[in-house]
Amino acid sequence: MFRTCILTDSTVVFTKPVYPGIEHVHIIPHVLQTPHAPGADSFRQTFVTLGSRYQEIISVLGSSHLNPAVQNARLAVASLKSPLNIQVIDSQTTAIGLGLLVQAAAESIQRGMPAQDICNLLRGMIRNIFAIFCLPDLTSLYLSGQIDQAQAIVGEMLGVIPIFVMENGQLIHIQKIRSPRHLVDILFEFVMEFDQLKYLALLQGSSFFDQECRNLRERVNQNLRTPHLSEYRINPTLASLLGSRSIGIISMLKTPGEKS
C-alpha cells in the first residue's frame, strides 16, 4: 500500500491520458456555473475520505491568484484534527503547468520517493514554468475576478485583445492588440526567450484562433528543433475562468544539471 497520494483541482490539463502513478492522483472539481473553486468544506470531506486510504496527501492546486482553492484547502487543513500529513502547494500556474507538476509528483510516488522530497521537487519545478496567454473574453475575466467590470466593458467596446504573462502565479497584463495577426509574433517571441526548454505546449480554447495556431506551429517547427510543440484544448473549468476563446503557451525549462 502506498502512503502518499496527490490531490489536484479541475483546472489541471495533463500531457497524456495515462502516466506513471496515475492511480495515486485525485481531482476535486470546481463548480462550473459560478465559477467557484472547491470550498473549505469540500476539501475537508475529500481529505477525510483520502485519509482512510493514505497517510500523506500532497495537494497541488492551480495558482492562488486565479481562484481561492489553495486558501480553501489550507483552511480545511487547519480545521482538521487528524494525524494526516497534508501539504498544500500553490503551483503558481494552471492547465498544462499544473499537469506537469502533478504527473511528476505521481511518478515520484510510484518510485517510492518520500512526501517531503516530492514537495521539494515540485517547488523547484515551479520556478521553471512560464506562461503567456491571450484572453479576449473580458467578461469571463471579470467574473473570475481578474479584472474589474469597467475594464471588461470598455475593453469589449473597443475590441481590445489583452495579452498576459504569469508571474509568481499572477496574470500580469503586458500589452493589448487590435488584431489577431499580431498574436503569432508575440507568442513566438515568448517561446524564443528561453534556452534549455524541456516542454512546450500550446493551449487553445475554441476555434477562434485556429489560423494563428497553424501559423505559430509552422514558425516554431521551422526555428526550434526540440522540444516538439504539443497542443491541448482548454477544459471546461479553465474556459469558465479565462474564457472559451483563450490561447496560451506554457513552457517548462530544464533544471540545472538536467541532461538534454
Q: What is the pLDDT of residues 58-116, one digit of tens each?
A: 999 999 999 899 999 999 999 998 888 999 999 999 999 999 999 999 999 999 999 99
* pLDDT value of residue 259: 61
The H-assigned helical ranges of 19-110 are: 40-51, 69-79, 96-110
* pLDDT value of residue 35: 54
Cα(214)–Cα(169) distance, integer angstroms? 28
* DSSP β-ladder status, 129-134 and 161-167: antiparallel
Cα(209)–Cα(107) distance, integer angstroms? 34
Q: What is the pLDDT of residues 225-251, one digit of tens each?
A: 777 899 999 999 999 889 999 999 999
pLDDT of residue 260 exceeding 70, the answer is no
pLDDT of residue 36 exceeding 90, the answer is no
Query: Averaged over 188-204, what is the pLDDT?
Result: 93
Q: What is the Cβ-side half-sphere exposure of residue 180, based on CA atoms within 13 angstroms?
A: 15
- In the chain, which residues fall in CATH 3.30.1180.10? 129-253
* pLDDT value of residue 201: 96
- In the chain, which residues fall in CATH 3.40.50.10170? 4-126
pLDDT of residue 174 exceeding 70, the answer is yes
Residues in the chain: 260
pLDDT band for 32, please (50, 70, 90 cuts). Answer: low
pLDDT of residue 171 exceeding 80, the answer is yes
Pick the CATH number of 129-253 from 3.40.50.2300, 3.40.30.10, 3.40.50.620, 3.30.1180.10: 3.30.1180.10
- Residue 58, helix vs strand vs coil: strand
What rounded mean pLDDT belongs to the chain? 91
* pLDDT value of residue 257: 62
The CA-CA-CA angle for residues 145, 147, 150, to 5°, reads 120
> What is the assigned CATH class of domain 4-126?
alpha beta
